[in-house]
Amino acid sequence: MFFFKSKNKRSNNSKLKILSGYNFRYRNIGKESEKTIIRYADHFNFDYEIDKRNSFERHFYWLKIKMLIENLEEGTHEYYFWLDADSFICRYENILNHVDKSKDICIHNQFFKSKHKTKILNVDYLTWGPNVGVILVKNTKWSLNFFKNVWSKKKYLNHYWPDNAAVMDEIGFKSEISKLTDNRPSKKTLSKFYFLSGLWNSMPNKNFDNPKNNEISNFYFNPIIIHLAGVRRRDRINFIKKHKHLFLK
């Protein structure tokens, strides 16, 4: 039986704490991500917390929102760095040296084909939106309120992008969860965000081994973090086997 387990490292460095988590179903993927997190944390003397519980009150994707809220309420660190359990750190780059520290939340915007269709043959809309698999959060009241508001958006509990859709809604990037004309984030909200380079959230296509793949690529050369977002579990395991040499040693 797979019991609740939370793995923590405590240091004297209150600068940054890495957060992640996975359940029994994703253990073969999560344990490889965990190895890179621990190596990265040890290198920079950062704290980390990896939550390994087998059940959660919502879809497991929402765990990140709950953990961010709890850690922001505890307030022991200046920054909290969430990494999905299918993300793998590849280089020793201190993220705090690559962001605007006046911002509250740092996240990457990915490109994808829009669900909205054009009336022109062979012409698609290309849109973008934040991917919540990699998030750096500054310990501020604004950040805490932001994620509390995200948690309260229960209309996305059964959405195919559950937590991600709730974050998109709260920011105002609503084109892919509503109408194109609803995509109107306020300047005030956007002023709180820093958009990370794709090197920090480099995502292979879902069918990365298919030569006929026509997906929009969000993969970046020489990535700092590889994130297998949306990739089938079997294909994630195959990717790890083929490309594990890219991960931190």
Per-residue pLDDT tens over the stretch 87-145: 999 999 999 999 999 999 999 999 888 889 989 988 888 888 899 999 999 999 999 99
154-169 pLDDT, tens digit each? 999 999 999 999 999 9
- Report whether pLDDT(68) > 60: yes
pLDDT score for 3? 47
**pLDDT over 60 at 12, yes or no:** yes
Alpha-carbon distance 77 to 91, whole Å? 23
Q: Is there a contact between 48 and 38 (Cβ–Cβ < 8 Å)?
A: yes
**Candidate ranges 69-78, 123-132, 197-206; pick with highest mean pLDDT:** 69-78
pTM exceeds 0.95: no
pLDDT band (50, 70, 90) for residue 6: low
What pLDDT, on the 0 to 100 scale, is given for residue 212? 67
8 A C-beta contact, residue 184 and residue 51: no
What's the Cα-to-Cα distance from 202 to each of 95, 178, 208, 211, rounded to whole Å? Answer: 15, 26, 13, 19
Sequence-distant (6+) residues with CB within 8 A of 86 are 26, 29, 30, 33, 133, 227, 228, 229, 231, 236
Mean of per-residue pLDDT scores for the chain = 92
pLDDT of residue 1: 40
Q: Which domains does the chain have, with CATH numbers?
A: 5-109+130-207+219-246 (3.90.550.10)
